[in-house]
Chain A
């Protein structure tokens, strides 16, 4: 078929302007992924025993975990929105992300003296290692849902988009994980949660070119 014929055929069906913005579609996928992560966290990992009393107990670390996760979600959502649209430049510079992770690294300095990072236990015996594999597992449904939605949009830089979809899914998973996690240390949140989210970023960057490719 010549290009002339193709143009004639395509022109028989002029496009309609979409009323639903891509950011709204993506927002719906984020909300769905958060709900799924929370349901899986509650049914699989079980919520922390004092979750019902959290407001009474006045636990600032619990809210810090929620704030950390929510800020990752918001940041990643904004970037994924931009990367899903062909030709749109990313509004947030890489330096912001680097600063974000540098802050987490700085928290390593807050580690209590003689504390092993890997075997750092909370009062229920859960270690950092548990966090490092449970958050990525919780992120898998979100990663698949978000990848499906982003693929239907128009990502043109697949590895980069995959990495940020991984960041978004990781942030969502850590929101769900916060319902279960009973560590009461700011340094733990900064280190373990950041490393777990980084795992999902690497996973996203790796699978991005395979599952985000559109024809």
Chain B
């Protein structure tokens, strides 16, 4: 672990000097650490149905946007793990809330409406059940036809985050249809 910490410290110092390759390497090293940590935690919470990679991506995005809170005096692994833990808890809390919100509406719609209406309403319910950081980009780009740049400006997210969140929202919707 000490070796990993030392490697990450060196890479992040080079990244601060503008070295893109070092930063890419830093993020790759971190991904390995985070993936193992998040998988362990999902297993511990008996939530192996969740996609660990989604949480890894959320964590990497959060790390990228929170560098102003990094302090050289503390281990970068401790800092990154604290962010990963926060993202994991947030993800688990949201996914629990989403599954609670969906159940009754879905059952009612499936039994009373025609197939097309059912699909449309299920889709609406799934989109409505998404957390706001996933729902807004999908609504703006996929439903209302705004560009990624416009959606980024409207939501205050970066363009990369908008794309990632759309991708994640589509995956969540597909999971809702059982695919």
Contacts and interface: CB of A to CB of B under 8 A. Distances in A.
Contact of B64 (A15, A18, A22): A15
Interface residues of A, number: 28
Interface in B13-36: 15-16, 18-24, 27-28, 31
Contact of A1 (B21, B83, B164): B164
A86 B66 contact: yes
B104 interface: no
A124 B97 CA distance: 52
A213 B86 CA distance: 10
Interface string B125-153: 00000000100000000000000000000
Given A3-B31, A11-B20, A18 B68 contact: yes
Interface residues of B, number: 41
B16 A17 contact: yes
A12 B74 contact: no
B8 interface: no
A86 B86 contact: yes
A214 B83 CA distance: 11
Nearest to B166: A1
B105 interface: no
B66 A14 contact: no
Interface string A52-89: 00000000000000000000000000000000111110
**Most chain A beta-carbon contacts within 10 A, residue among B18, B61, B160:** B160
A22 B66 CA distance: 11
B69 interface: yes
A153 B79 CA distance: 13
Interface of B: 15-16, 18-24, 27-28, 31, 53, 56-57, 60-62, 64, 66-71, 74-75, 78-83, 85-86, 90, 133, 160, 163-164, 167
Interface of A: 1, 3, 6-18, 20, 22, 84-88, 153-154, 156, 213-215
